[in-house]
Amino acid sequence: MAKNMGLIWTVCVLLFAANGLAADVSITATVSPAAVPVGGEATLVVTVQGKFTRSSTPELPPLEDFSVYQAGTSQSFSFGTGGSGATLQFTYVLVPKKAGTYTIQPIRFRAGDKIYTAEPVILDVAPSPSQVRIPESDAKESIDVKGDQPIFVRAKVDRDTVYVNQQVTWTLGFYTDGRLDLMRTPEYSPPPAEAFWAEELPAQQSSYKQVNGRRYLVNEVKRAFFASAPGEYKIGQARIDIVIDDFGRGSRDRSFDDFFNRSFGSFGFGKPASLKTQEIVVTVLPLPSRGRPARFSGLVGRGLELSVQTDKQTAQVGEPINLTLEVSGEGNFKTMSAPALEPPDGFKVYESGTSSDLFKKDLVVSGRKKYEYVLIPQIEGEKSIRPVSLSYFDPMAKVYRTVQSAPIALDIKPGTVEEGRRVVFTGAGEDIEVLGKDINYIRPVPAVIRPASGSFGGSKLYWALHALPLIALFASIAVERRRKRFRGDIRLARATRAGRDAGKKLDHAGRLLAEGRANDVYAAVSAAIRGYLADKMNASVSGITLDEIERFLLSRGVGVEEMEKLRSVMKACDDAQYAPAGSAAADAGAARGTVEAAADLVRMFEKGSLS
């Protein structure tokens, strides 16, 4: 009887466990933002949690009024006293085609022989606002787009008519739609631009745009140009050098084969190619003569500020007074000349240095320039440094403006004897007479200079210098052999440089963190890790999935600790990148920890199974 009761109890436990396992799966869906205009982007995230094996992807309902794009998948695992579980996140980008209120349902997920359904989500789509269109007079762009291309470049300027020394912001867009795989990171060559000063602007975050009904991933490079003289000038062609991976294109859509044949000619595996933008003509106007101040500095900018400070306001005759004149605001400070400084009577003035800082916030070049002087008072009494003024032209308001510093009062006391010397003001001739000698020679110059004894021709240094050309010759032969080997074996070349390239990208992530751009750090870290693993796998960065990466690492004998650290880093990057719009900024401490974890991960791989 006891045995029968025990058997019945065991069967009951198994039945309850099976029921609990079947019910221990949940699916949720969220969309953000909840309202977008026509042509805007909304992010749909489907989250599946519980005990299951990944056997399918979510089944979305028909969405005829949307363009739907997959934006990535992330997964994580948890282990605890209550057992193990998994979390899958599927991210989609929805681009609405017309206005209305849409209820997205049902969203299903199949786990084993069961189907789970998420609660419906609602998205409001407003009409596209007409004011977002850029006026034709303010924006001019060159487009290198012919037909349905998988990759192209586009250049534009924010304005094609400016004043001398007014900023022109030039933008290069690199467009890819995913049909074309690249062997390495594209190499950018900036456009030639005579008669312009040029400044690189901060890198921009990638985004998606619709062109001719197709969705493209866009990477942008921006430059600021400042014309130094009136006239018509060209911002020349920029070039993007790429290496195309056509190894597997036989199984792809061949609708763009004509594009390859027309643009690049016939080529084999890893063929290099170039894309060029068109030239853009910019008209540069002279600064208006009407209203120009008599002491105009030639500076063009906005919101300029001027300050003058001294390190002391009470000094003795002959005692140096350090004066700093500082100008700050928007504009090209490289062409700025020093404002006129008029010291009080009875002072000698010496320039002691100039320093400048350049800032590029919100794609606008601004700066700060300091001029330093030393004032030597020659007469005691109450003195005053007159106000310093600076005139500049504001190109947005099309007016001249003048800023001015406040006067500085000085109290000069009688001079004293200092460190064995006496400073005397005579009132005529040489103003300063120094009594006493400051410098004495340590040794007198010898009357006769004789050559050192010994023969240089018989020294070791003589023979070492003769051996240097031979050493350089053998070193160049070794380097050239290495280059030929890498050109013939792309897999080896990618695997060899993977660690170095990842280190550079992580250094860039560190610089973003130092600039306070914690939200951009995760995209840089993700690019570094995915690029590193793609190079090791000899695969396209855009084509590999986390499952493929894990299978590759397991085949190379990567340990559990490294796998867990990789999942943690990738999850942190995905969570930050696909966070809903308007969410809180990323925590700088967490971003720093992710950068350090990624660097440790690359070091472990390089020293271990991926070396």
Q: Is the predicted pLDDT of residue 211 greater than 80, yes or no?
A: yes
334 contacts: CB under 8 Å, gap ≥ 6: 197, 356
Average pLDDT on 595-606 reads: 87
List, in order of start, the domains of the chain with CATH numbers: 24-130 (2.60.40.740), 134-285 (2.60.40), 304-434 (2.60.40), 488-607 (1.20.120)
What secondary structure letter does DSSP report for 111?
A: E
Alpha-carbon span 195 to 234, nearest angstrom: 9
Torsion from C-alpha of 252, 253, 259, 263, nearest 10 degrees: 0
Nearest to 542 by CA among 71, 56, 94, 214: 71
Query: Residues near 419 by Cβ (< 8 Å), separated by ≥ 6?
Result: none
Whether the CB-CB separation of 179 and 254 falls below 8 Å is answered with no
In which region does residue 251 sit, left (phi positive, over 0), alpha (psi from -120 to 50) or beta (all else)?
A: alpha
pLDDT score at 486? 55
User: Quick check: 87 and 47 in contact, CB under 8 A?
Assistant: yes
DSSP code per residue over 502-569: HHHHHHHHHHHHHTT-HHHHHHHHHHHHHHHHHHHHT--TTT--HHHHHHHHHHTT--HHHHHHHHHH
- Range in 57-61, 357-361, 471-475, 542-546 the model is least confident about: 542-546
pLDDT of res. 142: 40
Higher pLDDT, 437 or 114: 114
HSE-up (13 A, CA, CB side) for residue 534: 20
**pLDDT digits over 59-92, tens only?**
889 888 888 877 666 666 554 445 556 778 888 8
Indicate whether 167 pLDDT > 90. yes
Q: DSSP for 374-395? A: EEEE-S-EEEEEPPPEEEEEET
pLDDT computed for residue 483 by the predictor:
66
* Side chain identity at residue 38, one-letter code: V
Question: Helix 546-555 and helix 560-577: axis angle, to 10°?
Answer: 160
**Burial classification of residue 323, based on how many CB atoms lie within 10 Å of its CB (0-12 exposed, 13-18 middle, 19 or more buried):** buried
CA distances from 370 to 86, 155, 305, 407, 583 (A): 59, 36, 12, 18, 40
More confident residue, 399 or 143: 399
Mean pLDDT for the chain overall: 76
Q: Which long-range contacts (CB under 8 A, 24 or more apart) does 595-599 make?
A: 595/506, 595/509, 595/510, 595/513, 595/521, 595/525, 597/565, 597/568, 597/569, 598/506, 598/509, 598/525, 598/528, 598/529, 598/569, 599/503, 599/506
Q: Is the pLDDT of residue 161 over 90?
A: yes
**Helix and strand totals (H; E) in the chain:** 8, 33
Q: With cut-offs at 50, 70 and 90, classify the pLDDT of residue 421.
A: very low
Structure-token match 């004789």, residue found: 450
Task: Give yes or no for a cis peptide into 33 (omega within 30° of 0).
Answer: yes
Tell me the pLDDT band of 247, cut-offs 50, 70 and 90.
low
Task: Count Cβ atoms below 10 Å from residue 265 Cβ, excluding itself.
Answer: 9
Helix (H, G, I), strand (E, B) or coil at 570: helix
- Tell me how far apart the alpha carbons of residues 55 and 101 are, in angstroms, rounded to a whole number: 33
Q: What is the pLDDT of residue 376?
A: 92
Q: Could you report the per-residue pLDDT of 287-305, keeping only the tens digit for each? A: 888 888 887 878 899 999 9
User: Residues 529-552: pLDDT tens digits?
Assistant: 888 887 788 765 555 677 778 878
CB 348 within 8 A of CB 318: no
Q: Are 542 and 178 in contact (CB under 8 A)?
A: yes
Structural contact between residues 92 and 43, judged by C-beta atoms closer than 8 angstroms: yes
Strand partners, 310: 323
Rounded Cα distance, 537 and 550, in Å: 11
Per-residue pLDDT, 85: 65
- Residue-wise DSSP of 233-263: EEE---EEEEEEE-TTGGGS-GGGHHHHHHH
Listed in sequence order, the residues at least 6 apart from 244 whose beta carbon sits closer than 8 Å to its beta carbon are 180, 181, 182, 183, 260, 264, 267, 270, 271, 272, 273
Which residue, 221, 225, 367, 238, is CA-closest to 284? Answer: 225
Q: Which of 30-44, 130-144, 381-395 has the lowest mean pLDDT?
A: 130-144
CA distance 227 to 159: 13
Q: What's the average model confidence in pLDDT over 94-122?
A: 87
Q: What share of the chain is helix, strand, coil (3-state, %, to 5)?
A: 25, 40, 35
Residue 547 burial (CB count, 10 A): 11
Q: What is the sign of the dihedral through the CA atoms of 306, 312, 315 and 317? A: negative
pLDDT band for 435, please (50, 70, 90 cuts): very low
